[in-house]
Amino acid sequence: MLRQHDSFAGYLIEGVLGQGGMGTVYLARHPRLPRLVALKLLNRAVSEDEELRRRFEQEANVVARLEHPGIVGIYDRGTQDGHLWISMQYIRGTDAARLDSRAAQPGHIMQIVTDTANALDYAHNRGVLHRDIKPANILIAEPQAGRERHAVLTDFGIARLLDADTKLTATGTFTATLAYASPEQLSGQPVDHRADQYSLGCTLFTLLAGQPPYSSTNPGQIVTGHLAKPVPRLSDARPDLPPQLDSVIARAMAKHRDERFATCGEFAAAATAALRGEAAVALRGEAAVARSAPAATVVNQRSAHPATSVAPWPLSAPAIPNQPPSPIRRYNPEPDPWPIARVVDQPQPSGVIARTAALVAFAFGLLTSLIAVGTVAEMANRRGRSQIRAPRDVVLEFLAPISITSAMSLLLLGGSIALFARRRGGRIAVALGTGIITLIALIAIGASLGDSSRADVVFFGVILIFAFTGLAAAISPSTGRWLAHRRARGRS
């Protein structure tokens, strides 16, 4: 797990956005541009799996082809230290799963569904299915300067190019969330763009009713509901809403996909008309904007195991889209889960400050070692002249200074070498050694001022300046960022 201020693939980590079984999504700063990104990092065990590597790379290729203000975009991808990574747009906001169905205005919820439907139709026309539409995968971006609050669709991690020949899920594992899965997904039948419409119908029901259409703690009952039970009436849970919505949702959630709307946009337009009480228009779908027919979107998935409820990827990343969205109505304000400061460009640390600290420590280490050697030589000289003192005097005059200077020399020299090698322990040793010298220099200056010794004041003043420079450089945040590159590369 990366920590704040660690560096990975040039990105500076700011925090964690989410974590799943296959990896973690981090909030990070772009290495060259003044922007925040969401950095998805897969665990080493996942990255080493050849099939999962293909799926991850296909995820990036699929989403990179989609350029729409309602779809999270891809910036870059790569591999470092055995980990697959992908950087994506970051959106400040929340997801639709956190909305209070009773507090939110139905019109605002309908706008969320409309934004999502437009994004889905765009993807479908380019041969891409989402296959995991649910409230948690719909982000509600905060309003920015010149931009209204809008919905952005995320987590295309289980999308597939519909014309691909490669079968990447050999076992046929079903990955959509059970509460929003279409009957054809659950039964292993061919899947097309209308499966996403079914899930969007379930999502609209959930956002308005406060619970999924087939709510149960028993997975078998949920599957039975999708496959065989009638679509529940929204008006039973929300009698304050127009009953025309029941027919629109029932059509979007029809058991047979041929009975559903032609596009997600048509469904959203019919639901909007029904909310306004335009029953005839809603049922005929005449309020829908004319659209070209979506591209062929059929994928055969013969599933030996009908259902699992865990998507294979962590939530895709949020981002501030570069394209201005169409004007839409504002939503009720939602609390910001990620209050962050204004983005500023963060240049790559050069290591000059860290190396300055190491050089200062190395110089002081040499100085203290010379003092220790000089003291040893003086002691040997006096003994050679038979100027033997009492053991107590020898300890005070020679052994104690030799021990202290030798320890300081080892601390400073070892710390400087370790810091040059970009070891975290070297930074601590250098900071400790230069800090001790700074304190000693301050005490010596005070004593010299009392004796009115100008030469000593100047000497110890110079020592103080160099020692404090080394200390400040060692504890500088720039030194920490420089060391973070080494820690990130050595992390498994």
CB 305 within 8 A of CB 173: yes
**Partners of 437 in the beta sheet?**
none
Active-site hit among 121, 132, 155, 196: 132
Long-range CB pairs of 252-259 (<8 Å, 24+ gap) are 252/197, 252/198, 252/200, 252/201, 252/204, 253/198, 253/201, 253/202, 253/205, 253/213, 254/198, 255/183, 255/227, 255/228, 257/182, 257/184, 257/192, 257/194, 257/195, 257/198
Distance between CA atoms of 138 and 118, rounded to whole angstroms? 13
Q: Report the distance separating Cα 136 and Cα 194, nearest Å.
A: 20
C-alpha to C-alpha distance for 266 and 451, rounded to whole angstroms: 92
Is 165 annotated in the active site?
Answer: no
**Spatial CA neighbour of 208 closest among 70, 110, 282, 343:** 110
Q: Point out the residues that are catalytic.
A: 132
